[in-house]
Amino acid sequence: HFVRVVKRMRSPDSALRCSMTSWLSAGVSNAPFTRAIGSRIDRRCRTFATAKHSQDYIQNTKIPTYHFQDSLPKLPVPPLEKTASRFIYSATPLISEADLKETKTMMDEFTKGVGSKLHQSIVDRDKSQYSSYISKPWFDMYLECRTPLMLNINPQITFIPDPNPAKMNQATRAATLIWSTARFYRTLMDGQLEPDMFHTKACMGGSGEGFFRFLNGRGGDDTFKAFCARLPRKYAFYGAYVYGTYPLDMSQYSGLFQSTRIPRVGKDELRKFPDSRHIVIQRGADFYKLDILREDGSVVPGGEILHEIQAILARPLPPPSQPAVGVLTSLERDAWARAREALVAGGPANAEALDDVDSAIFAVCLEDKAPVALLEAQRNMLHGDGRNRWFDKSFQLIVSADGRAAVSFEHSWGDGVAVLRYFNEACEDALEAPVLSPV
């Protein structure tokens, strides 16, 4: 079996009583965190040699995925005067004339005083780093935010239903999307995903749809691609620019898979696990571990994934009275950080279980509900009851009992560009995939 157990989660009762919210009883200390399928539990090596198989890719690009990355121009620091002017322009329709006059006076004093010094510090910092000057403030803003991730940080995007009824039962839908996601992952990891590009010319984007061609990631004709692929990485951006194409930053893709947000008191941290081969599947309060990559790095066939999903769904749901560890990820961040510390203090099995969840390529949530009303369905995808969610993961693939599916993603590691590219590619690949048969 590919499904392996994540150890039981245990924690000292006293620590739980101090760390958890009042509605969560200390009985969590004895609750099973996961269940196993099958009797064989093996701890395979997490490193593997990449094996390139064409069936593992959703596309084969002529331009390597990160070909433009070294030549991208840095985002310029705007002049302070321009920033001040834009601020006044934005405030004008929102405040009274008296307040606007006072705002202009304050802005003038700011630009001539401390604002000038602050601006120069940004310019100096920008000269000393490779990435954008707003990169560090971005991460600090999200990671220092103490509000719960649920509702405040994590959005969701819902997939369109598969028109083939045979592919819309929960097990098949989940297995197909997992398989397509694994294929997208291998495509990205092996540099076979076409770079994100914005085409300004119809002949380059195919239909002249510009932004949408960029989202699909398949714009540009063969001559353009062959030309750019031959350019040294140091100058590749400027070659694309000659064609009226703007390559876009792809650095956020590094946080899409095998990553998680770790709660810490005061400021969270982002962690990467580049050698992981498994995903975590949540159903109710139970967590399952499933390898979707073989030891050589190739993608596990969809039929085998389907077999294991069916086995999970065949097991009885845990009773509602069973405390769910996943709901702790919906707490205020400092509260969750202290709760996590208490769990780790419960013993090495807890730390190992948390590591299995943290290091998963991504998370899957199998819902036992199938809301009919659109608003109720969207709320279920956004947060549900929180019991079978792990909001810290880079993203969660959620599949309801009727086969409707969505992606919920944690926002600190990146913006929606990488998620939306994955979402569109995986959706298209899953729609084109054949009906899976369990193996």
Alpha-carbon distance 434 to 427, whole Å? 13
Q: How far is CA 118 from the centre of its chain?
A: 33
DSSP notation for 126-191 = HHT-SS-TTHHHHHHHHHH--S-HHHHTB-EEEPPPPS-GGG-SHHHHHHHHHHHHHHHHHHHHTT
Alpha-carbon distance 115 to 84, whole Å? 10
Opening angle at CA 422, ends 419 and 425, nearest 5? 145
Alpha-carbon distance 288 to 235, whole Å? 46
Name which of 175, 165, 174, 154 is nearest 401 in CA terms.
174
Find the catalytic residue in 53, 119, 383, 411: 411
In the residue annotation, 278 being an active-site residue is answered as no
- Assess contact for 262 and 358: CB atoms under 8 A: yes
**Each residue of 212-248: b (16+ CB within 10 Å) or e?**
ebbbebebbeeebbebbeebeeeebbebbeebebbbe
Q: How far is CA 218 from the centre of its chain?
A: 22
Taking CA atoms, 86 is separated from 56, 63, 67, 92, 273, in Å, by: 48, 38, 35, 10, 42
DSSP notation for 30-71 = GS--B--SSS------S-------GGG-S---SS-TTTTGGG
- Assess contact for 170 and 399: CB atoms under 8 A: yes
- Assess contact for 188 and 293: CB atoms under 8 A: no
- Assess contact for 415 and 147: CB atoms under 8 A: no
Q: How far is CA 47 from the centre of its chain?
A: 22
Residues noted as catalytic = 411
